[in-house]
């Protein structure tokens, strides 16, 4: 069984048992808890591995920039939360070890920027569309363009990884509303 899903199910069941008449359904609580447990687990693992490898702040910068731009750009999701934690941890702890020259940073920024212009946001499945959703593309473009001034190889690689996840290659690239 998948560990994070099982843990979120157990916590949600305990909460529901404590407050059976509460307004939130067991399934909604389980889903929200699974997302939070995934985020917390990833932050903890990236922090620990970053600390041991001597790239604590670089790993957290990779994770922070990836999470920020993902919030607005969307992207494909793994069906297994444990694999999501594993993949994100590996990516964010490896990125600080990859130095890029200024010209490569600029090229990767341009590639990411073009992908965000063409495809962001691509959430594949929208749970609910917010009023601010129309600004998500502009936010992605702004975040990516900031790195033309910062010139961080870590942010550049995080943007490349995230931009790859929004390409319409996954599951046919369709956008569905539920």
Q: Is the pLDDT at 14 greater than 70, yes or no?
A: yes
Average pLDDT of the chain is 88
Confidence of residue 26 (pLDDT cuts 50, 70, 90): confident
Q: Which has the closest alpha carbon to 102: 51, 52, 50, 148?
A: 148
| pLDDT value for 45 | 97
| pLDDT value for 173 | 46
Which pair of tokens denotes residue 19?
Answer: 């407050």
Q: Is the pLDDT at 62 greater than 70, yes or no?
A: yes
Predicted TM-score (pTM) of the model is 0.85
Which pair of tokens denotes residue 77?
Answer: 């999701």
Element housing 126 (H / E): strand 125-126
Chain CA centroid to CA 51, Å: 21
More confident: 46 or 16 = 46
Indicate the SS3 state at residue 11.
helix
| pLDDT value for 85 | 93
Q: Which has the closest alpha carbon to 69: 147, 126, 149, 127?
A: 147
The 8-class DSSP code of residue 176 comes to: E
Distance CA 153, CA 147 (A): 9
Q: With the C-alpha atoms ordered 35, 38, 43, 46, is the resulting torsion angle positive or negative? A: negative
More confident: 177 or 22 = 22
Q: Is the pLDDT at 93 greater than 80, yes or no?
A: yes
| pLDDT value for 128 | 59
Q: Is the pLDDT at 176 greater than 60, yes or no?
A: no
């Amino acid at each position: 069984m998948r560990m994070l899903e099982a843990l979120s199910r157990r916590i949600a069941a305990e909460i529901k048992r404590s407050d059976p008449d509460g307004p939130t359904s067991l399934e909604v609580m389980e889903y929200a808890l699974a997302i939070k447990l995934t985020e917390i687990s990833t932050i903890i693992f990236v922090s620990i591995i970053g600390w041991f490898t001597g790239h604590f702040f670089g790993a957290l910068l990779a994770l922070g920039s990836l999470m920020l731009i993902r919030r607005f750009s969307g992207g494909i999701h793994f069906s297994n939360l444990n694999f999501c934690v594993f993949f994100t941890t590996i990516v964010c702890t490896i990125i600080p070890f990859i130095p890029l020259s200024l010209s490569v940073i600029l090229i990767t920024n341009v590639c990411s920027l073009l992908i965000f212009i063409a495809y962001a946001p691509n959430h594949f499945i929208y749970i609910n569309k917010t009023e601010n959703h129309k600004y998500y593309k502009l936010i992605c473009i702004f975040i990516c363009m900031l790195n033309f001034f910062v010139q961080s190889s870590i942010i550049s690689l995080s943007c490349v990884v995230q931009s790859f996840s929004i390409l319409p290659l996954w599951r046919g690239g369709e956008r569905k509303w539920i």
